[in-house]
Structure 1
Amino acid sequence: MHAFAALLDSLIYTRSRNAKLKLIADYLHATPDPDRGWAMAALTGGLDLPGVKPALIRALIEERVDPVLFRMSRDYVGDTAETVALLWPAPVVPGAPEPLSLTDAVERLRHLGRADAPAELARMLDRLDAEERFALLKMATGALRIGVSARLARVALAQAFDVDVELLEELWHALPPPYAPLFDWLEGRSEQPTAADTPVFRPFMLAHGLEDARVDLADYAAEWKWDGIRVQIVHVAGQTRLYSRTGDDVTGSFPDVAAAFSTPGVVDGELMVKGDFQGGALDSGGGAASFNALQQRLGRKTVSAKMLADYPAFVRLYDILVDGTEDLRALPWTDRRARLESFVPRLDPDRFDISQLIAADDFTHLEAIRAGARDAAIEGVMLKRRDSPYVGGRKAGLWYKWKRDPLTADCVMMYAQRGNGRRSSYYSDYTFGCWTDDGELLPVGKAYSGITDEELRQLDRFVRSHTVNRFGPVREVEKTLVLEIAFDSIHSSSRHKSGVAMRFPRIARIRLDKPAEEADRLDTLQRLIT
């Protein structure tokens, strides 16, 4: 555990991307199997340790230290794993504890039942120092938050062994941790593993923001950017899998879509919930409900028959990567589009359609079309270079996303809470509200992004000097500061007292010039509901 704990500690305090890559690469070269495989699984979110829950960790520490002290310390530190690691009492036993390897820790945690978990986890924590306890708890809960994405960890692995990261990505999703066949190949002890007859994930092609640039529509095709979740559907050897943009297997959340896709191939599209549709078939120009409807099904391991009926899912297809056994990714977009148009008629029309292209004479015409579109399911416009191959990641000049302009509202800060990680010392998460007709301020959202470091310090000072009440880690503040909130859309919500829920709220600016009583009213937001 010591080497893994030292790696996490170094990654937390390292800002440079290249430095992070070197830290991971050095660890992988110095660490034997299977420890390095389990470390990669932890860094990429590939560990499933269901026996350890945050509530269990809190219960263990509160048996050993004053619960009030723990909660106050947690509020100050901003991270449960770090707080528990520091507060955990040293066991009163003679001699140094026997070292615990990363593999030992993982194997024990993987096979823990609910009844055995408290005693076994406590025994493991007793054997570790504070740094190792932090690493163990972070790994066990699957919430590393160390500034390393799954993609960055795999890039580090590819660079460490001088292989193509896109090839590594494909092999990665075909192999379970601790990836022994992968490391055998990387170090020249065996042939390259194969993904044949396995429904593996291929890295998505991503887009750069268009910003203020303009493109020639003779070179670029335009299509709507739909507001669902990007998915890749793979069918091979009688198996179908749905993958999210990060490579997570989401088949269990959408069994209706998986069951309907039985044609060999790999496609890329937007998964949404049906809205207005006619005659049992999707209207290819729309037919999608808002993202709020899709949220009812996200993250569910099992989906009830009622959920399937109330929120039927479908996929609007953007691209085709494999047709049968033929890999089409090297073909230009125009050829892949033609193949997609011939592929879609083979699919269930109640579950799949094709994203329509936007007919525009030139870029100025496209600007006008985009400005007039605020459908509940439209997020913006995609611009795809007609000769572009399908390549993983973001490649300059090939695809652009041109999101619709956000909506904005002037809201009043109501509550604040400390952030996590490097923001744990600041009140950086803000709940804000709008006025009712009766003069009551009701919460309408929560945001923590969109501000600079200087603005963060400014808001933190405001919270500390204008606190009127405390509820555990949450501070209620004087209702005097107005924040301009930008958001992509707003929907009805029975879970919130205000009756509304914002999509992607972020702070656009601090309105020191505006009195709180002039902030927006709730009925203004209700008129924007889609």
Structure 2
Amino acid sequence: MLLADVARTLETVSQTRARSAKTAALADLLRRTDPADASALVGMLIGRVRQGRIGVGWRTVVDLRSQIAPSKEPGLSVREVDDALEQIAHTPSGAGSAGVRRDLIGSLFAHADSAESDLLARILTGEVRTGALEGIVIDALAAATDTPATVVRRAVMLSGDLGLTAELALREPAALADVGLRVGVPVQPMLASTSSSVEDAISTAGESSVEHKLDGARIQVHRDGDDVLVVTRSLADVTARVPEIVERVRALPIRSAIFDGETLLLDDDGAPRPFQDTMSRFGRHGVPDSVLRPWFFDVLHLDGTDLIDEPLRVRRGALADVAAQHLIASTVTDDPAAAQRVLDEALASGQEGVMVKSLDAPYAAGRRGKAWLKVKPVHTYDLVVLGAEWGSGRRTGWLSNLHLGARDPEGVAGEPGGFVMVGKTFKGLTDELLRWQTETFPAYETRRTTHAVFLRPEIVVEIAIDGVQRSSRYPGGVALRFARVKGYRPDKSPAEADTINSLQAQLR
């Protein structure tokens, strides 16, 4: 398939706000795709190539494109682009490596016509934002293969890879129904929605497990014999960095399991240390100078039996049988007053709040529904950084005031599939964070002015607010009230940022 075909389809997708039209256009493209190209194509559609980061900066791409005139005819195939990206990603670092990467990219641009050149530049810089988000691609794949969307979605969640699922669907659609849990293959985690109070949460979920919401890092732990795999919320492998967790899981009286849970550092009094301390610990190799402890709240597989479709009450029972010492404490209740007491205890111990989980719900991998509800007294949202302004006074020379964006999945604010600005803040930024921003943000730069640097929407930051207010200043119609930075969330992807809809709901 020519890259020009992909460019034409994405142009159609970007020009419509109707989800059905986007789905139809992408389904037509997928029907014409060779299964061998499916994984590469999906990566290009969602703006996340399968090779991950390939070591090529935005400036290099822009400079090369400006120096090479487009071809008069389309000349690139999806497979050729993917092969080149593979070579670039595996080019050894060292003397001459930058030149090799430049030559490979230059060759691509030399064979690309104008439309292909534009799309290629956006693929290389992560700028493919046309509303072709994963959910729409899943719907399109279902339509292209005449498969129920629920079957495709489940296969994606259990395989953890939309590209590989697309390849399987195009080769043998019936095989999607056979995709199941595999120990050692990370699963997209079940997600929680937000509830304004424990009373509302209990009313929605019914009899529930009410648990402390730890201010830690989400982990998923797989064990197969003596082999242990630990991955983060984004499914990044951190096994080598957490030997203490590996040791604890190996000590459990089991043969195989998939656990879901959290980990965090505690101070000498047993209170949770700041989230950034936990994340910093993930970034260090070698002998740890601080010890992470796992707390598990779910088990998806145990000793040859898949539990993912069992209700939570069954899963919690199985977890208590094999890992009671690592089990997050739970109060089972349908009484709002009892749930409120758990919330009060959690806050008093320094935790974020509580999770209210329906005891009758299965584990919905990758989904954010009403079966799990989080209750926190302070409104916090995961937003993306769209830009930063240069500071003044004591902050002169540092990138300071952040431009914050919420995810806009349905184009309700006029930029389909993108991010819409909802406010600015410089509050909560320590000198350490200011220094980090100034050093880090240029790597994500798309353009700059005298006063600000604008970024690709890839950096997620947790923002605490007192609420929102109506605003005609921003396209989403809302602005943040008293926003302040809680911390950056390297464990979360932009696709997990909170939506403009969730902010607008606070106005009601």
TM over 0.5: yes
2:258 counterpart residue number: 266
1:329 counterpart residue number: 308
Q: What's the Cα RMSD here?
A: 4.6
**Greater helix percent: which structure?**
2
Matched, 1:228 2:220: no
Matched, 1:28 2:35: no
- Show the 5 A alignment for 1:36-435: 36-43=38-45, 45=48, 47-48=50-51, 50-54=53-57, 57-59=58-60, 61-62=62-63, 87=66, 89-90=68-69, 96=72, 99-112=75-88, 113=91, 114=97, 115-142=99-126, 144-161=128-145, 162-163=147-148, 164-170=151-157, 172-173=159-160, 180-186=167-173, 199-211=184-196, 213=200, 215=202, 219-236=207-224, 238-251=226-239, 254=242, 256-258=244-246, 260-262=248-250, 263=254, 264-276=256-268, 288-298=272-282, 300=283, 303-305=284-286, 308-310=288-290, 312-345=291-324, 353-358=326-331, 362-367=335-340, 369-371=342-344, 373-374=346-347, 378-394=351-367, 397-406=370-379, 422=415, 430-433=424-427
Cα deviation, residue 356, structure 1: 0.7
Say which is worse superposed, 313-322 or 163-172, in terms of deviation.
Answer: 163-172
Contact 2:402 2:426 in 1 (8 A): no
Cα deviation, residue 337, structure 1: 1.3
Distance 1:34 1:261 in 2: 38
Give the paired residue count: 417
Distance 1:366 1:232, change over 3 A: same
- Show the 5 A alignment for 1:493-508: none
Whichever residue aligns with residue 242 of structure 1, its letter is: V
For 1:362-395, what per-residue CA distance to the aligned partner results, in whole angstroms no more than 9, with x for missing partners?
A: 3134335525643576222111222222233547
For 1:487-524, what per-residue CA distance to the aligned partner results, in whole angstroms no more than 9, with x for missing partners?
A: 58579xxxxxxxxxxxx9x9x99xxxxxxxxxxxxxxx
Say which is worse superposed, 315-324 or 397-406, in terms of deviation.
Answer: 397-406
Cα deviation, residue 252, structure 1: 5.2
Distance 1:48 1:175, change over 3 A: same
Distance 1:16 1:377 in 2: 45
Runs of at least 5 residues in structure 2 that lack an aligned partner in the other structure? 92-96, 382-388, 393-399, 409-414, 431-436, 438-460, 489-497
Q: TM-score with structure 2 length normalisation?
A: 0.67
Whichever residue aligns with residue 105 of structure 1, its letter is: V
Cα deviation, residue 20, structure 1: 3.3
Whichever residue aligns with residue 35 of structure 1, its letter is: D
Whichever residue aligns with residue 454 of structure 1, its letter is: S
Whichever residue aligns with residue 370 of structure 1, its letter is: L
Cα deviation, residue 180, structure 1: 4.4
1:526 counterpart residue number: none
Distance 1:451 1:129, change over 3 A: farther
Is the partner of 1:387 in helix, strand or coil?
coil
Whichever residue aligns with residue 81 of structure 2, its letter is: A
Cα deviation, residue 174, structure 1: 7.3
Distance 2:370 2:206 in 1: 14
Distance 2:275 2:364 in 1: 27
Contact 1:203 1:247 in 2 (8 A): yes
Is the partner of 2:347 in helix, strand or coil?
coil
Runs of at least 5 residues in structure 1 that lack an aligned partner in the other structure? 65-83, 278-285, 437-442, 461-481, 492-503, 510-530
Contact 1:427 1:459 in 2 (8 A): no
Distance 1:131 1:376 in 2: 57
Whichever residue aligns with residue 304 of structure 1, its letter is: H
Distance 1:29 1:246, change over 3 A: farther
Is the partner of 2:184 in helix, strand or coil?
coil
1:514 counterpart residue number: none
Distance 2:259 2:29 in 1: 36
Whichever residue aligns with residue 424 of structure 2, its letter is: Y
Distance 2:311 2:429 in 1: 53
Cα deviation, residue 50, structure 1: 4.6
1:80 counterpart residue number: none
Distance 1:141 1:197 in 2: 33
Distance 1:459 1:384 in 2: 32
Cα deviation, residue 430, structure 1: 2.7
Say which is worse superposed, 370-379 or 382-391, in terms of deviation.
Answer: 370-379
Distance 2:469 2:11 in 1: 27
Contact 2:355 2:374 in 1 (8 A): yes
Whichever residue aligns with residue 228 of structure 1, its letter is: G
Distance 1:35 1:23 in 2: 18
Whichever residue aligns with residue 263 of structure 2, its letter is: L
Distance 1:433 1:107 in 2: 45
Is the partner of 1:215 in helix, strand or coil?
helix
Distance 1:366 1:145, change over 3 A: same
Distance 1:403 1:18 in 2: 36
Distance 1:143 1:359 in 2: 46
